[in-house]
Structure 1
Amino acid sequence: MLKKVLFTILCVGFQSIIFGQFLPKDSTQNKASHTTLGTVNNLLDFANDHLHLRYRSGGTSKKGFDCSGFVRYCFQNFGMILPHGSAAQSLLGYSVSRLEAQPSDLIFFKGHNAKGKRVGHVGIVTEVTDKYIKFIHSAWNGGVRYDYLDAAYYQKRFMGIKRVLHTPEIKNAKN
């Protein structure tokens, strides 16, 4: 188990160095390197195109997705390779608060056990307002679907939000 964790951390580190995809929050990259509103909308539209596909443990294709397989599949379509596994994905990017959340951020939850301490589920934030955060994910009880952080099930399991795309301030990119 320790070997898997170390291997994942090593791979993520090399990927960020080689591809430069995970920029620090205070990056001074020029605007041309920023992800555009169009790219975010394209990512969210692509994710939406897969609504209602079935859940499949370990799934990474249209035959069925698990949560991290779905997130990985969506980002991979736009040239960004994420690891398979919600815990591994939670090691990427940087943390943002609920108030700073933007569409395309990753949102993380505990698994079925709300009292657990480990990341066990991931989704993609699709909409942020002053009243709610909406996300798309692949859930074992419904496949690819939308849910809200405000739902009691997800509130109890919420662990955090991570930004893996360096984006200018974007609110409500997708309704």
Structure 2
Amino acid sequence: MKKMLLTVIATVSFGIVQAQTPSTVTESVPAVTSTEKSFYEQIPLVSDVISFAKQHLSIRYRSGGTTQSGFDCSGFTRFCFKHFGISLPHSSAAQGNVGQAIDKTDAQPGDLILFKGHSSGGNRIGHVGLITEVVGDRVKFIHSAWSGGVRYDYLHADYYQRRFMGVRRVIHLLADK
């Protein structure tokens, strides 16, 4: 069921299902309990968070920054989720404890992506971003970087591969609102 739901979210995220009728979509979604929400109900929120994050491209990096005058990495992810009523802590290490740990191969748009800080030899989370796109094994994310401010990068770049620490799913926090 998990793999089916992940396939569904990936399909919808890339706009492939747009041509399907609502009855087709409804029939392909497994039944959920009244307290759970289907991925279809959650996707608009994920899409909204990602769209909101994209509106802030090129805003400068500012250490400790949490506003549009400048963001640090965790300040940026916190700002984006807070706009939709989700409170995240203001440190990348603390954001690494929120939500559910997800295997890199199961990463989806809307997930947080976590990295070591400046030293690839360390063992502590020091940077966070928001996954915006997953195509095959290519993971694209938006983040506030010391060089360049709010921008896109890819997990497959050597710099980020060496520092990759994990993925956290916070989508259920969005769905609970």
Query: 1:35 touches 1:166 (CA, 8 Å); kept in 2?
Result: no
Match of 1:101 among 107, 112, 134: 107
Cα displacement (A) at 1:37: 1.4
| TM-score calculated relative to the size of structure 1 | 0.76
The CA RMSD over aligned residues, in Å, is 1.8
| TM-score calculated relative to the size of structure 2 | 0.76
- Structure 1: stretches of 5+ with no match in the other structure: 1-26, 168-175
Query: 2:42 touches 2:171 (CA, 8 Å); kept in 1?
Result: no
1:102 maps to a residue whose letter is Q
> For the pair shown, which has the larger CA radius of gyration, 1 or 2?
2
1:63 maps to a residue whose letter is S
Q: Give the equivalent residue in structure 1 for 2:89.
A: 83
Larger helix proportion of the pair: 2
Query: Within 2, Cα distance between the matches of 1:33 and 1:96?
Result: 16
Give the direction of change, closer, same or farther, for the CA distance of 1:34–1:93 in structure 2 (3 Å limit). farther
For the pair 1:37 / 2:43, whether they are aligned, the reply is yes
Q: Give the equivalent residue in structure 1 for 2:152.
A: 146
Match of 1:132 among 135, 138, 158: 138
Instruction: Give a deviation string over 1:5-46, Cα, whole Å, max 9, x none.
Output: xxxxxxxxxxxxxxxxxxxxxx95332798521111110000
The count of corresponding residues between Structure 1 and Structure 2 is 141
Identity %, equivalent residues: 56
- Structure 2: stretches of 5+ with no match in the other structure: 1-31
Q: Give the equivalent residue in structure 2 for 1:160.
A: 166
2:135 maps to a residue whose letter is T
TM superposition outliers: structure 1 runs of 4+ over 6 Å: none
Query: Within 1, Cα distance between the matches of 2:39 and 2:141?
Result: 25
1:108 maps to a residue whose letter is L
For the pair 1:68 / 2:74, whether they are aligned, the reply is yes
